[in-house]
Structure 1
Amino acid sequence: MNIFLIGFMGTGKSSLGKKLAKRLNMHFIDSDQAIELDSQLSIPEIFSQQGEAGFRTLEHVWLEKVEDQNAVIALGGGTPCFMDNMALIQEKGISIHLVLSIGNITNRLWEAKTPRPLLKPYLNNKEALATFISKSMAQRLPFYRGADITFEASNMKAVKLDLLVKMIEDQINLKNAKIHH
C-alpha cells in the first residue's frame, strides 16, 4: 500500500517521508523528483516553460501512473488541489495531511536554500510571504481535509513518529477491512 504525504510546502513531507519510509521498511518517492526524471526538466524549468498549468498537468499524469509500490510518497503542496487528484490519492493509498502553523511554514520557506517557483514574488518580503501562505492555505485546506490522517508535524521526535506509525497501521487495517467486506 502507498502512503501519500500531503500538506503545504515547507511542512516537512520529504524529510518526514524519508524517516517514515525507513521506519516502515518502504521505498521513499518524492513526486517532484519523479516528475523531473520523467520530464527531463527541473521543476523551475517546467514552471518557466509551461507555467503552473503545465506543471499541474505533468503532476496529474504522473499521479495517474503511480501503482502500488509499497512506498511513502511525498507529494507537492498543491497536488491534492487540482484535477481531482485527491480522489486519485484516496484510491491509490492512505493519505496523511501534515499540519504546521503558518508562522512555522513562513520561517522554513523564508530560510530555504532553494526557492520554490510559486514563492519568487515574495522572496524579499517576509510579511508578503506569510500573507501568500495564509491565502493559499485557506484555498487548499478543503482538499487537505480529505486526508485519511491529519498529523501535527512540528517537533518530530521518535515518540511522535511511533504515534504516526500506529495511526498508519490502524488506517491500513481499516482500509483492508473495507476491501474484504
Structure 2
Amino acid sequence: MRAIYITGFMGSGKTTVGRRLGELLNLPVFDTDEHVSNLETMSISKIFASKGEKEFRKLESDMLRSLPTEDCIITTGGGIILAEENRVWMKENGHYVYLYCDPGEIVQRLAGDESRPLISGDKKKELLPLFLTRKSLYEEAEFHIDTTSKSIEVIAEEIIKSIKIA
C-alpha cells in the first residue's frame, strides 16, 4: 500500500490521528517534525531560533523524501505544504490527506502551547492570517477530513473509508 501523508494546520490533529491510524492499520508512523528534531538534536522551536525558518523548511523537505513511500503513515509539520515540491511528492507517492479544523477550535486546542514557533503571544491574532494563507495549499490534497469536534477514532475511521482501506 502507498504511504498515507497527513497534512493540516497546527492543532488539526495530525500526530494524534496518525498514531491511531497506524494502530488500526498496523503500520509504522513517521512524524517529519519528530525526525527533524531528532536529526538536529534540538526542538523545532530551537531550530527556528538558531537556523531560521528557511533552513528548517529545507530539513523538513529532505526528511520527507528520505522516508518510505510504502506501508506507512507519515504525519507532517503544518508548513510542509509551503513548498510546491512537497505537495507534488505527497500526491505522487501516496494518499495525500488534509485534516481541516475550524480556526476557533484550533485556538482552543493550542491554548497554553508555547512550543509553536510561528505563533506566540496572542495566538488568536496570529493564527487566522497564517491559516488563511495556507488554506488553499492544504486543499490541494486528494482527501479532506474535517476534524472539528470529532474524536480521534471517528477521524481515523473517516480516513480509512476515504482511501478505501477497509
TM over 0.5: yes
Secondary structure of the residue that 1:60 maps to in structure 2? helix
Greater Cα radius of gyration, structure 1 or 2: 1
RMSD: 1.9
C-alpha contact (below 8 Å) 1:99/1:153 kept by paired residues: yes
2:147 corresponds to which residue?
153
The reply to whether residue 99 of structure 1 matches residue 93 of structure 2 is: no
Closer/same/farther in 2, CA of residues 83 and 158 from structure 1, 3 Å limit: closer
Shift of 1:97: 0.6
- Between the two structures, name the one with larger relative contact order (CA 8 Å, sep ≥ 6): 2
TM-score (norm 2): 0.90
- Partners of 1:69 and 1:149 in 2: how far apart? 18
More helix by share: 1
Task: Report the equivalent of 2:137.
Answer: 143
Q: Structure 1-normalised TM-score?
A: 0.83
Letter of the 1:149 counterpart: F
Q: Distance in 2 between matches of 1:64 and 1:160?
A: 26
Sequence identity percentage: 27
Q: Tell me which amino acid in the other structure corresponds to 2:88.
A: A
Count of residue pairs brought into register by the alignment = 164
Structure 2 residues not aligned, in runs of 5+: none
Which amino acid in the other structure matches residue 150 of structure 1? H
* AA at the equivalent of 2:15: S
Aligned pair in 2 of structure 1 residues 100, 159: CA closer, same or farther (>3 Å)?
A: closer
Q: 2:125 aligns with which of 112, 127, 131?
A: 131
